[in-house]
Chain A
Amino acid sequence: QKEVEQNSGPLSVPEGAIASLNCTYSDRVSQSFFWYRQYSGKSPELIMSIYSNGDKEDGRFTAQLNKASQYVSLLIRDSQPSDSATYLCAVPRDYKLSFGAGTTVTVRA
């Protein structure tokens, strides 16, 4: 079992819709979780971090964490063409980050 798994995508959504991205992790002791956005050919950019069970909202982004189910998700509301990118879920393990393979989102105008 991989340490971090994401829904494989690609995910295509119309402009203005909600994009829903899922991530599961294997290490039950993980306490913090990060979502990075990566545009094609660029480096990962941090967009959200979450440490507690429940929801955390930041602008059009909402991260949801359920530690009992070892599940973290990212919702992008009112999706815009500029949201078209690969979204990486990352879980720290002994200071280093373990990443999922990423989910590529395409927002159709």
Chain B
Amino acid sequence: DTGVSQDPRHKITKRGQNVTFRCDPISEHNRLYWYRQTLGQGPEFLTYFQNEAQLEKSRLLSDRFSAERPKGSFSTLEIQRTEQGDSAMYLCASSLAAGGATDTQYFGPGTRLTVL
């Protein structure tokens, strides 16, 4: 399978715990995105990497959230001191920069987080 992969697929945690999610993009893709989706809504942008550089972070991304993409390959998203409001589907997408803003993003299967 050469698509975007995410791990774990499901995570149940207690409020206050830290969680970390991993995303492996399509191998030749240099852009990687994190989105969050809650029930009945479209995905909302969280952050974006081009190679290893984190170029933009949404205001939705509080100080409890941190993302990395070491060496421009896989990425991790960590949530510290989880809150019930963090319960959502966390989606990773990747794309190949095409010299403009119209490159196509392909999504991974997502990680569903439930905070009890």
Contacts and interface: CB of A to CB of B under 8 A. Distances in A.
Contact of A43 (B102, B103, B108): B108
B52 to A, nearest CB: 16
A98 B102 contact: no
Interface in B36-57: 40-45, 48, 55-56
B43 A99 contact: yes
Interface residues of B, number: 25
Given A31-B101, A43-B91, A97-B93, 13 more contacts: A32-B101, A34-B105, A43-B108, A49-B104, A90-B42, A92-B102, A95-B48, A96-B33, A97-B43, A97-B45, A97-B105, A98-B45, A101-B42
The 5 closest A-B pairs by CB, nearest first: A99-B42, A32-B102, A96-B45, A43-B107, A43-B110
